[in-house]
Amino acid sequence: MSQPSVLFVCLGNICRSPLAEAALRARAVEAGVAITIDSAGTGDWHVGRPPDPRAQALALAHGIDISSYRARQVTAEDFHRFGHVYALDPQNLKDLHRIEPSHHIADLRLLMDMVPGRKGTAVIDPYYGDEHDFEQAWADVCAAADALVKRFRR
Ligand code: 4NP
């Protein structure tokens, strides 16, 4: 069986989805599980830019350097390249359904649906928020990363 592939999608690809990418990369290495991981945004405002400095600082505080990540916009082609596409919030999921090709291989769902007790909930957008909002987003993407590693370890 080929290795699982995961794409995380938020709005700007500079806060939540890069943190989700970082968390899953770290957890996958710790668990010895090989997963192809990427992230993207539904919007194009930040394409080519590194993650928000607050997200970079937060990841680094947890030992993960995400300064080399660069934002990109999700494409219809991604639905043919990734087995799993996870939306960080319900609006992202709606926007993904809008560009979803009629036939594709991706299992598209809300990320927090993977976490017991969090079905239907969002990883709250911390962009206009404060440090606490970033910490909350980090806690959420780490809980999701743990659930995904468990799932893909099987
Ligand atoms: P993200 O956060 O979707 O978690 O990357 C945001 C980044 C930028 C904007 C909104 C949310 N923005 O409006 O530019």
pLDDT tens, residue by residue, 31-50: 999 999 999 999 999 999 99
Distance CA 21, CA 39 (A): 6
Residue 29 lies in a domain: yes
User: Rounded to the nearest 5°, which phi and psi values hold at 96?
Assistant: -70, -40
pLDDT for 154:
74
Q: Which amino acid, residue 30?
A: E
* pLDDT exceeds cutoff 90 at 1: no
Token digits of residue 57: 């600082």
Mean pLDDT of the chain: 97
| Plot region of 31 (φ>0 → left; ψ -120 to 50 → alpha; else → beta) | alpha
Residue 96 lies in a domain: yes
pLDDT for 86:
99
* pLDDT exceeds cutoff 90 at 28: yes
> 121: domain range?
5-144
Residue 150 lies in a domain: no
Distance CA 1, CA 14 (A): 32
CA distances in angstroms from 73 to 39, 96, 137, 149, listed in the order given: 9, 11, 21, 25
Residue 152 lies in a domain: no
16 part of the active site: yes
Residue 149 lies in a domain: no
Residue 153 lies in a domain: no
Residue 154 lies in a domain: no
> Is residue 135 a contact partner of residue 58, using CB atoms and an 8 Å limit?
yes
Q: Provide the domain count of the chain.
A: 1
* pLDDT exceeds cutoff 80 at 112: yes
Is the C-beta atom of 9 inside 6 A of ligand 1?
no
Distance CA 42, CA 95 (A): 7
Residue 111 lies in a domain: yes
> Is residue 12 a contact partner of residue 71, using CB atoms and an 8 Å limit?
yes
Active-site residue identified among 15, 16, 52, 140:
16
pLDDT for 2:
83
* pTM metric for this prediction: 0.98
Q: Which of 30, 38, 35, 39 is nearest to 10 (CA)?
A: 39
Distance CA 152, CA 120 (A): 21
CATH number reported for the structural domain that contains residue 82 in this entry: 3.40.50.2300
Active-site residue identified among 27, 125, 140, 142:
125
Is the C-beta atom of 25 inside 6 A of ligand 1?
no
Q: Counting atoms of ligand 1 from 1, which one is nearest the CA of 45?
A: 14
* pLDDT exceeds cutoff 90 at 119: yes
**What proportion of the chain, given as a percentage, has pLDDT over 90?**
98
